Amino acid sequence: MKIAIGADHAGFALKEQVRQDLAAKGHEVTDFGASSEESTDYPDYARQVSQSVSSGAAERGLLFCSTGVGMSIAANKVRGVRAALAMNEDEVRLTREHNDANVLAFGARYINAEQAAALTGIFLATPFSHGSRHLRRLEKVAQIEAENQR
């Protein structure tokens, strides 16, 4: 699978560990940075990863910062992106099944590399449940997005 990843300085170490795990599993990973723990701004990476997913260059995106909140907020500003912050297996599975999330944000303060790898595996393996209620709701979300973006 083609996966875009990015992190600010606070998420750098966790991103690196997840990137290595994904590459070892045969995924094609595009890393948009950061390249060190030197202070950076999370919106820069959220934008690049989200645009990659929105354009179809990547099938899914992963973002890493201190809490995951800023990354998810910034990522959701890009048309077509459905970014979620999820901290446990059930949240990750449901955000894929119900919301067709295509970007997942992680808070490096709250999870370790082993947990992030497990959650990433669930995120990549879980399909969207095309049931009528979920699709209907996502169509309403897309309508809100279309009305508010110029």
pLDDT score at 132: 80
134 is catalytic: no
pLDDT in tens, 24-73: 999 999 999 999 999 999 999 999 999 999 999 999 999 999 999 999 99
CATH of the domain at 73: 3.40.1400.10
65 is catalytic: yes
What is the domain range of residue 96? 2-148
Q: Which of 9, 65, 130, 134 is catalytic?
A: 65
Instruction: Read off the tokens for 20.
Output: 């290595």
Nearest alpha-carbon partner for 103 in 129, 88, 124, 121? 124
Instruction: Read off the tokens for 64.
Output: 């890493």
How does DSSP classify residue 37?
S
Considering its fold, how many domains does the chain have in total? 1
Rounded Cα gap, residues 29 and 133, in angstroms: 33
pLDDT in tens, 67-125: 999 999 999 999 999 999 999 999 999 999 999 999 999 999 999 999 999 999 999 99
Q: Which of 9, 27, 98, 130 is catalytic?
A: 98
The percent of residues in the chain predicted with pLDDT above 90, rounded, is 95
| pTM value > 0.75 | yes
